[in-house]
Amino acid sequence: MVVRNCREVKVRELRFLGVWEGPSDFVELTLENPGWEGYRPGQFAMLRPKHWGLELSWGRPFSISRADEESVTFFFQVVGRGTERLTRLLPGDEVIVWGPLGNGFSAPEETPTLLLAGGMGIAPFRGYIERHPTPEFLRLVFAHRAGIDSYPYQMMKDKVRAEAIHEKTPDDLPTIIERIEAEVAGAHGGLVLACGPLPFLKTIQQAAKLHQVRAELSLERSMACGVGACLGCVCKDGQDKHVQVCARGPVFKADDVHL
Ligand SMILES: Cc1cc2nc3c(=O)[nH]c(=O)nc-3n(C[C@H](O)[C@H](O)[C@H](O)COP(=O)(O)OP(=O)(O)OC[C@H]3O[C@@H](n4cnc5c(N)ncnc54)[C@H](O)[C@@H]3O)c2cc1C
Ligand code: FES
């Protein structure tokens, strides 16, 4: 098996964006550019700091949030051991990165495109907006729970039409689901791209089917190898065949995947 573009790169910056009401943090990690400026937004990378011991034998997958000639940036939330240990990285530490991996989102020119992001699902859309050939055709709707400053939202709002919907309490959820369904219905004739938690993606998939809207969904399955070898990330496609999310996805046409 050939692992494409596996490199050791150095940490340039690690920045905490905001703090959830509990113990979780929102973090932006910037690495020296491993030569990925030609990546396709929606692609991801596996990260494994060089000093991790055997107790964390696998890297962790993250969407490439943006990349240019100088650096590549990831945006993540601390949810467990790996992400917590990533917050202890210091400038100059070495990280092994595999990538860019997976397929990425479509980016048709002059096509009204609705970006639906749920929580950490906002990460890949930062680079998507920056690289799109006709950003005036894009609109972002961002559903979030933590404070808006915890996410790289404002810098995206400066570039495209954008609206944030805040789920302050669980009572807000039905209204948010209705809003997302209405947004998908209103995107008929254009394209919907979505990234976020599984229930969020299911709502979008169902609405896209009902209203016959073209949609692509980015799946965040747990992964180990990230390159199609371990079968740790399988799901079923539209023909009921098992496929590896890391190799076939992580972006799937909404009518070609079982969630
Ligand atoms: C293609 C892809 C892109 C991703 N992009 C991002 C991103 O841009 N930002 C970000 O914050 N996260 C992203 N994730 C999720 C991220 O990989 C996990 O949060 C991370 O691996 C958790 O590692 P951990 O060691 O801290 O947690 P663990 O100790 O491994 O697990 C802690 C908790 O998180 C859950 N968990 C682990 N992996 C995932 C996962 N893939 N999805 C949902 N829950 C998970 C576990 O079930 C457990 O409850 C992405 C995942 C994939 C597959
Ligand atoms: S993570 Fe190993 S096959 Fe996908």
Dump pLDDT digits (tens) for 52-93.
988 888 899 999 999 999 999 999 999 999 999 999 999 999
Burial label, 138 (beta-carbon count in 10 A; 0-12, 13-18, 19+): buried
Q: DSSP assignment of 201-235, as one string?
A: HHHHHHHHHHHT-EEEEE-----SSSSSSS-TTEE
Q: Whose CA is nearest to atom 35 of ligand 1?
A: 79
At 33 the pLDDT is 83
CB-CB contact of 12 with 93 (8 Å): no
User: 113-218 domain in CATH 3.40.50.80?
Assistant: yes
The per-residue pLDDT for range 88-109, each reduced to its tens digit, is 999 999 999 999 999 999 999 9
Is the minimum distance from the CB of 43 to ligand 1 under 6 angstroms?
no
At 18 the pLDDT is 66
CA 120 to mean position of chain CA atoms: 7
Domain 6-101 and domain 113-218, same fold? Reply is no
Amino acid at 239: Q
Helices 173-186 + 198-211 axis angle, to 10: 40
The per-residue pLDDT for range 169-210, each reduced to its tens digit, is 999 999 999 999 999 999 999 999 999 999 999 999 999 999
User: Pairing between strand 6-19 and 94-101?
Assistant: antiparallel
Is the minimum distance from the CB of 174 to ligand 1 under 6 angstroms?
no
**Which of 12-26, 98-112, 146-160 is least confident?**
12-26
User: 6-101 domain in CATH 2.40.30.10?
Assistant: yes
At 24 the pLDDT is 57
Q: Whose CA is nearest to atom 30 of ligand 1?
A: 80
The radius of gyration of the chain's CA atoms, rounded to the nearest angstrom, is: 18
Ligand 2: lining residues by beta carbon, under 6 Å: 223-226, 228-233, 244, 246
Residue extents of the structural domains in the chain: 6-101, 113-218
pTM (two decimals)? 0.93
Dihedral sign, Cα of residue 247, residue 253, residue 258, residue 259: positive
* Percent of the chain predicted with pLDDT > 90: 84
* Confidence tier at 1 by pLDDT (50, 70, 90): very low
Which ligand 1 atom lies nearest to the CA of residue 86? 26
Q: What is the distance between the alpha carbons of residues 236 and 258, in angstroms, rounded to a whole number?
A: 5
Among 35, 40, 39, 31, which Cα is nearest to 13's?
A: 31
